Chains A and B, each alone.
Chain A
Amino acid sequence: MVKIISFLFLFLFLAVPSLYAMHIAEGMLEFKWSFLWWLVATPFLLMGLYHIKKLKQKNSLYLALISTTAACVFIFSMLPLPVPIAGTTSHPTAIGLSSLLLGVLSTAVVSFISLFIQAVFLGHGGLTTLGANTVSMGISGSIVALFTFYFFKKINLPLAVRVFLVAFLADLSSYLVTALQLCLSLAGFKALPQLWIKFFLLFLPIQLPVAVLEGLLTAGIIKYIHTHKPEIIAHLLK
């Protein structure tokens, strides 16, 4: 099974031989909007750094957990998954997984670092749009993820189903906010709701299968952690 999956991934990379820009690219947002999204992201990042520093002192394995999750976010968010019918590629975000393991503030920092490296070295996203990309992927995605998790916990859904929905909706919410960012920059507040929906509907059919895949994968990872090291997700099981 592992061999088959490895072969499929290898095939995807060989079949798609060049690099594909992901996230909102440099210059796609007007300067004032890029600046505003940086302003929105900054407090989350500062609080996130403080939060990580505090938790690192309390728990010796926290650094290992945050490194693992950061690597996951980095790899997932630059993985070009081909969506054959649409003739394009899209990427998962791993924000659902990160939010469940680390929470909103640490996820904001983790996604910022991943997006920064991608912007500087890989040509995915950009430095001026880094704030906007952090808000859409790291911050809004993780807020939606945690809200979804606790909402579905109240109606007693099984853990695996809850995690699937968390990752699925966190992934889609990133694109909902990306659509809002593009909409505000390109058309301002004029006809905002209609254009926002129109822009999101352009992303939706392509991102939907990727979000389902991410949901299944995240549910599998959380299930594995639940079986082998449940103390990592003790806060989710309370």
Chain B
Amino acid sequence: MNLIGLDEKIGHRLTQEYGLNIKEAVLNLPSEILLFAFILLSCLAGFILGYNWYRIFKAKTK
């Protein structure tokens, strides 16, 4: 399945329609690095979420 993100889909369509040339990203990392960062940061965010959820809801009630 190859789905494009909403913002990109509409944004690209409109910018092409109005003749604006989309510039290259300032930082353009290869897709493998992006996938690695995506997984790593998702895990990190999950850990932060879980740990602080525990601190808020469980730690003090024990």
Contacts and interface: CB of A to CB of B under 8 A. Distances in A.
Interface of A: 15-28, 30, 61, 64-65, 67-68, 70-72, 74-75, 78, 80, 82-83, 86-91, 117, 119-124, 126-128, 178, 182, 185-187, 199, 202-203, 206-207, 228-229, 232
Contacts of B24: 26-27
Contacts of B18: 186-187
A25 B22 contact: yes
B56 A61 contact: yes
Nearest to B2: A18
> How would you classify the secondary structure of chain B's contact residues: helix, strand, loop or mixed?
helix
Nearest to B53: A68
A128 B49 CA distance: 29
Interface residues of B, number: 43
Given A61-B55, A82-B1, A122-B38, A71 B14 contact: no
Given A24-B11, A186-B18, A123 B45 contact: no
Contacts of A123: 25, 28-29, 34
A71 B45 contact: yes
A30 B19 CA distance: 12
Given A75-B46, A88-B9, A121-B37, A20 B4 contact: yes
B48 to A, nearest CB: 4
16 contacts: A20-B5, A21-B4, A21-B8, A22-B5, A25-B11, A28-B15, A28-B20, A64-B55, A65-B52, A68-B56, A71-B49, A74-B45, A88-B9, A90-B5, A182-B15, A186-B14
A89 B20 contact: no
B27 A127 contact: yes
Contacts of B4: 20-21, 88-89
Contacts of A72: 49
A144 to B, nearest CB: 19
Contacts of B53: 68
Among A185, A186, A199, residue most surrounded by chain B Cβ atoms (within 10 Å) = A186
Given A20-B8, A64-B55, A26 B38 contact: no
